[in-house]
Amino acid sequence: MTPPGPVGDRFRRFRERLADEHSNQPSVSAPGGDLTVRRDANRRRGGRRGGGEELRVPEAEFTSYYGRPVLKPPVWKWDIAAYLFTGGLAAGSSLLAAGGQLTRRPALRRAGRVTALAAVSASAVFLVRDLGRPARFHHMLRVAKPTSPMSMGTWILTAYGPAAGVAAIAEAAGVLPRHGLLGLAGRVLPPVGHAAGLLAAGTAPALATYTGVLLADTAVPSWHEAYPELPVIFAGSALASGAGVGLLAAPPAQAGPARRMAVAGAALELYGAHRVETRLGLLSEPYQLGRPGRLLRAGRLLTAGGVAGALLGRRSRVVGALSGTALLAASVLTRFGIFYGGVASARDPRYTVVPQRERVEARRSGMDLPSDRAAPPAV
């Protein structure tokens, strides 16, 4: 950033420059060459799109107030990126556990339930840590507001968390003694766990996908414009991480559904990430460059490797466990990549200004065309 100089001085220079421009020729260049940032990517795109059509306005050079960001970057720290992973992991695990309990695959059920409880507990810690006044987290339960994804998420978690907790505690039934009070608990717990597991699985898809709305319903350009894809990526990532738990914990004979879940999850995740990295034009750039780009590329490689391992090594426990680990790691990397890609797009004013400017130009040229055909003058 330019250090703020004496105000009067700066204004005088600005006025002189204006006077110069008026006396010489009406040049198009924005005031202050040092404030102007060249936009190479736009040029590239403009060239590709141009196709011989004459542009009404010369490709705007991008400016902002002393190169400062137009937006404030998100206040969320890394714990929200971590929550994106743990929330998705909890959701995926609960779905795996419910499938395991309905199709009598105890290894999948047990691993899914225990992971879900651990992950949802970690989620709660991450979320409460992020609040301005962590001790007042229960105030989130005073309102229910459909226009606030954070409020909706609080309620989804409130429904999901206890169900996942009860389902996991019910797993203790196996180690309780047969007689006495604890024996009674041992007989009551499995059906209670069954119901709780189904309830948790019922709310799990909402838990995994609302976070896409949570990110998209902000002014952060690369999140907001990616709103059709973010829930898809997060749903896929959650499925893949849940499947990873299944591959890690279950013997190959029981892990068939986890393998198929891994394929479905990876397909959704890779499709969504590909769309986000290619469809958004300039706003795809933050997902390709720098650290977010590296995270997303590594995530993609690990997802592909994990799925390949799960399919090819279906007889080997070791290969299955490695594939599961790869899928879990891929989910972490993807979440952090999406998170930091958005943060990068908020930090650089280019991503705020240029797409909006293009929108304005498109609207203006769209309005000009009919008026050329002698339509009544608008406003």
Partner 1 sequence: MCYDRLGVGMTPACAQACPTESIQYGPLDELRERAAARVATLHERGVAEARLYGHDPSDGVGGDGAFFLLLDEPEVYGLPPDPVVTTRDLPKMWKRAGLAALAMAAATVAAFVGGSS
Closer of 169 and 206 to partner 1 (Cβ): 206
Q: Is 336 in the site for partner 1 (CB under 8 A)?
A: no
CB neighbours of 70 closer than 8 A, spacing ≥ 6?
64, 349, 352, 353
Residue 363 CB, nearest distance to partner 1 (Å)?
8
Name which position in 85, 126, 160, 210 contacts partner 1 (CB under 8 A): 210
**205: part of which helix (H) or strand (E)?**
helix 180-216
User: Which one, 64 or 325, has the nearer CB to partner 1?
Assistant: 64
Instruction: Pick the piece of the chain touching partner 1 (CB under 8 A) from 65-73, 123-131, 182-190, 331-339.
Output: 65-73
Half-sphere exposure of 216 (CA within 13 A, CB side): 17
Footprint (CB under 8 A) of partner 1, residues 116-155:
147
Position 359 contacts partner 1 (CB under 8 A): yes
Site string for partner 1, 91-120 (x = CB under 8 A): x---xx-xx--xx-----------------
- Say if residues 342 and 284 touch (Cβ distance below 8 Å): no
Among 11, 17, 31, 188, contact with partner 1 (rule: CB under 8 A): 31
Q: Is 235 near partner 1 (CB under 8 A)?
A: yes
Query: Which residue from 217, 281, 294, 308 is in contact with partner 1, where contact means CB under 8 A?
Result: 217
Half-sphere exposure of 31 (CA within 13 A, CB side): 15
Tokens of 15: 């006025």
Tell me whether residue 179 or residue 315 sits nearer to partner 1 (CB atom): 315
Part in contact with partner 1 (CB under 8 A); list of ranges 30-38, 171-179, 181-189, 192-200: 30-38
Q: Which is nearer to partner 1, 360 or 375 (CB)?
A: 360
By CB under 8 A, name the one of 19, 184, 188, 253 that touches partner 1: 253
- Total site size for partner 1, rule CB under 8 A: 59
Nearest partner of 278 among 293, 288, 265, judged by Cα: 288
222 lines the binding site for partner 1 (CB under 8 A):
no
Residue 169 exposed, middle or buried by CB count within 10 Å (0-12, 13-18, 19+):
middle
Given the complex with partner 1, which of 229 and 285 has the nearer CB atom?
A: 229
- Identify which of 241, 238, 243 has the alpha carbon closest to the alpha carbon of residue 100: 243
Least distance (Å) between residue 226 CB and partner 1: 10
- Tell me the torsion sign for CA atoms 126, 129, 132, 134: positive
Please choose, out of 38-46, 222-230, 317-325, 365-373, the segment that lies near partner 1 by the rule CB under 8 A: 222-230
- Fill in the per-residue mask, 305 to 334: x = in contact with partner 1 (CB under 8 A), - = not in contact: ---------x--------------------
Q: Is 261 in the site for partner 1 (CB under 8 A)?
A: yes
Strand partners for 62: 37
Per CB under 8 A, does 234 bind partner 1? Answer: yes
Residue for token pair 């890779």: 270
The binding track of 150-189 with respect to partner 1, each residue x by CB under 8 A or -, is: ----------------------------------------
Applying CB under 8 A, which part among 45-53, 73-81, 180-188, 232-240 lies near partner 1?
232-240
The footprint of partner 1 (CB under 8 A) covers: 30-31, 35, 62-65, 68, 70-71, 91, 95-96, 98-99, 102-103, 147, 201, 204-206, 208-210, 212-213, 216-219, 224, 227-228, 231-232, 234-235, 238-239, 243, 253, 256-261, 264-265, 268, 314, 349, 352-353, 356-357, 359-360
